[in-house]
Structure 1
Amino acid sequence: MNRRATGTARGIAVAVPVALFAALAGTALHRQALLLAGVDVYWGAAAALLLLASLELLLAAWSRSLLPTAVAGIACYAAVGALSVTGTGKQLIVADVAGNVWVYGIAAVTLVMLLWCRRYSRRRR
């Protein structure tokens, strides 16, 4: 196996636990709010998405491939989806502003990070 394929395989093997960590930590974090002038400012959803973006950037830079970034985004989205469809009263992610920003933001952040990390996967001449 060449070095590029080895880096991609290692990146995918690391991407799944990283995605599960991001999903669980982001789910715990996304409802954090600050009350300013009587308005709840949900800073936790932004922090959770920033955590996911930084982990995806780290994966892409470490493995020099886009595949682990995509796998991390898909696995995180799937884990968060599983957490949000549990029975009534047991949901960890409710369909409110913070929950929607967290759930749909995962897809947006993953797409942005795939575009941003393209430069790590290109070969230099």
Structure 2
Amino acid sequence: MNKGATGTARGIAVAVPVALFAAFAGTALHRQALLIAGVDVSWGTAAALLLLASLQLLLGAWSRSLIPTAVVGIVCYAAVGVLSTGGTGKQLIVADVPGNVWVYGSAGITFVMLLWCRRYGRPPRA
């Protein structure tokens, strides 16, 4: 196996558990709110998306490749989709504003992080 393929395989192997962590931790966070002057301020969705973005940025900078960043986004989106499709009363992600922002925002954050992590790509060989 050449050095590039080994790095890619290692990046994917690290990306899958990171994505599952982001999906479960983000799902636990996305409904958190703080009551300020009688108004619920939902901070959990922003924290969940920030967690996902930071993990994707960390993997992109560590692996110097876009593949682990994309794998984190795809696996996290798929896991969040599975968590939101439970039967009535069994869903962990409800189709309300925080739930929709978490589900669709994870796809948007992945796109933004892929654009951002392009800068960490390896320069072409001479």
Match status 1:90 vs 2:90:
yes
Aligned to 2:109: 109
Q: Which residue of 2 aligns with 1:52?
A: 52
CA RMSD of aligned residues (A): 1.2
Structure-1-length-normalised TM-score: 0.95
Q: Identical aligned pairs, as a percentage?
A: 82
* Residue type of the alignment partner of 1:9: A
Is 1:26 matched up with 2:19? Answer: no
CA distance in 1, matches of 2:118, 2:26: 25
Task: Give unpaired runs (5+ residues) of structure 1.
Answer: none
How far does residue 109 in structure 1 lie from its aligned partner after superposition?
0.3
The residue identity in structure 2 corresponding to 1:98 is P
Gaps in structure 2 of 5+ consecutive residues: none
1:67 aligns with 2:67: yes
Q: Distance in 2 between matches of 1:82 and 1:110?
A: 18
Q: Match for 2:28: what amino acid?
A: A
Shift of 1:105: 0.5
TM-score normalised to structure 2 length: 0.94
Q: Secondary structure at the match of 2:95?
A: coil
- Alignment correspondent of 1:40: 40
